[in-house]
Structure 1
Amino acid sequence: MKGKLITLEGGEGAGKSTVLDALRTQLAQHGIDAVVTREPGGTPVGEAIRSLLLDPARAGLCAETELLLMFASRAQLVRELVEPALAAGRWVLSDRFTDASFAYQGGGRGQPLARIAELERWAAAGVRPDLTLLLDLPVDEGLARVRGRGPADRIEMENAHFFENVRDAYRARAVADPARFRVIDSSRPLAYVLAQVHDVVAAFLDANGAARAQGARP
């Protein structure tokens, strides 16, 4: 049986890294040794592309180039890591996946959604998450968190209007696909956020008992 792909999405400062660590621990308690990755990146090729995409010195990168680079990294990740892991029955946790392109390059940059959907079918080989946790919080709060953790990367340097469009795009995708998305209020205290995530994933595990057994490492 194929494994499961769980993705974390959200705007800047949403707390994805903290939630990802908690998720990995929760799955391990159920005997699931998950493959953990991130986007852009996750492979040597992808990490090289990530450095280019996030470099503040690359302010002149056009929207079309950004979109194609995101999917170039994703194409490598899917073929080198995600598809082999899922085929072997492993579970995969990813910090961002294709929804991020619909939000950032679609909502933020104004790239046509039909173009992104076609790239999803081709470059990402049609791979879609089984569960997506959307960590949602007001843009001003997220940007305040980002400012408190060091120099901003190229995308973090965008203005609030850009990130409002990103947030709107994420929320629209969650409304359009309620079977896959679970929206978590990331503006709440960390203990509350982690409790909500735990409950969502516990329910997902219960609903996928057979897959859970397949995903467990000997």
Structure 2
Amino acid sequence: MNVKGLFITFEGPDGSGKSTQIKYLKQYIESQNLSYLSTREPGGTTISDAIRTVLLNPDHTSLTNETEILLYAASRAQHVEECIKPALDAGKIVICDRFVDASVAYQGYGLGVPVTRIKEINAFAAKGLIPDRTYLIDISPEEGRTRMEARDDREYEMSLDRIEQRKLEYHKRVREGFHHIYREDSNRICWVNGHQPSDMIFEEIRTDFQNYIQSYKKI
């Protein structure tokens, strides 16, 4: 298979199991001898990772909504310029844990900021870059919270980061936001039921990915 500059993103509410599915997809891509880069947001570069520590630190309770929106966009701008775009230009498959859809869901629908404003800010930050294929793993906020509290790979000593600590109603709005995003762009987004066993979830993703790259043409 010969794939050039393919941008794949994973989205979903917190606790949806994106990290596990990304790991499985990387293993599959490696088995197919395809060149790829795996990265995440916020983060992916030295500067973007520094911004990540500010955004997710639970001690930063005074961070305003406006600051949060702009910091995510700033991290993304650096990430696109320094990491994602060069990899795509080199003909690699880029797998990214979250992208602009996450800002629309979390800062737009979650915080109640006009979605059009979030899209405008991030179109500028991402230089208009749009994923070729997005896997949206859907899960209820209640199940997501249960899974998050059971994890032991915390970046901070506290059990949940600043965003994860928000009330259940916020996370319900985020999930509904992802549903809106899917309905508006179902040709790009592959919706997957995240309540299934992880191997069943990956089989759906693998099948879709295999079909997608076989028909994908990009010059």
Identity %: 38
Equivalent position amino acid for 2:57 in 1: D
Query: What code does the residue aligned with 1:121 have?
Result: A
Contact residue 64 and residue 111 of structure 1 kept, 8 A? no
Residue in structure 2 matched with residue 206 of structure 1 by the alignment? 214
Q: What is residue 199 of structure 2 aligned with on the other side?
A: 191
Q: Deviations over 1:53-93 (max 9, x none)?
A: 00000011111100000000000000001111111111100
Gaps of at least 5 residues in structure 1 are: none
- Aligned pairs for 1:161-172 (under 5 A) are 161-172=169-180
Match of 1:160 among 168, 172, 179: 168
**Quick check: 146-155 or 12-21, which moved more?**
146-155
1:13 corresponds to which letter in structure 2? G
Query: Partner of 1:102 in structure 2?
Result: 104
> Which residue does 2:67 correspond to in 1?
65
- In structure 1, what is the equivalent of residue 127 of structure 2? 125
Letter in 2 for 1:192: M
Give the secondary-structure state (helix, strand or coil) at the position aligned to 1:157.
Answer: coil
2:34 matches 1:32? yes
Deviation readout 1:110-140 (Å, 9 max, x if unpaired): 1111111111221110001000000001110
Hey, what's the Cα distance between the residues in 2 that align with 1:180 and 1:85? Answer: 21
Equivalence for 1:91: 93
Aligned to 1:19: 21
Alignment root-mean-square deviation, CA: 1.3
Once residues 123 and 203 of structure 2 are traced to their aligned partners in structure 1, the CA distance between those partners, rounded to angstroms, is 34
- Equivalent residue for 1:52, pick from 42, 51, 54: 54
Tell me the amino acid that sits aligned with residue 182 of structure 1. Answer: C
Gaps (5+ residues) in structure 2? 153-158
The equivalent residue for 1:178 is: 186
- Counterpart in 2 of 1:137? 139
Count of residues in Structure 1 that have an aligned counterpart in Structure 2: 211
Q: Normalising to structure 2: TM-score of the pair?
A: 0.93
Which one of 42, 50, 59 corresponds to residue 44 of structure 2?
42
Q: Deviations over 1:153-172 (max 9, x none)?
A: 00110111000000000011
- What SS does the aligned partner of 2:121 have? helix
SS in 1 for 2:39: strand
How far 1:33 sits from its partner (Å)?
A: 2.1
Structure 1 Cα separation of the partners of residues 147 and 207 of structure 2: 25
Instruction: Please give the alpha-carbon distance, in whole angstroms, between the structure 1 residues aligned to 2:98 and 2:81.
Output: 16
TM-score normalised by L of structure 1:
0.93
Aligned equivalents of 1:59 and 1:120: distance in 2?
A: 24
Amino acid of the residue matched to residue 46 of structure 2? P
Aligned to 2:12: 10
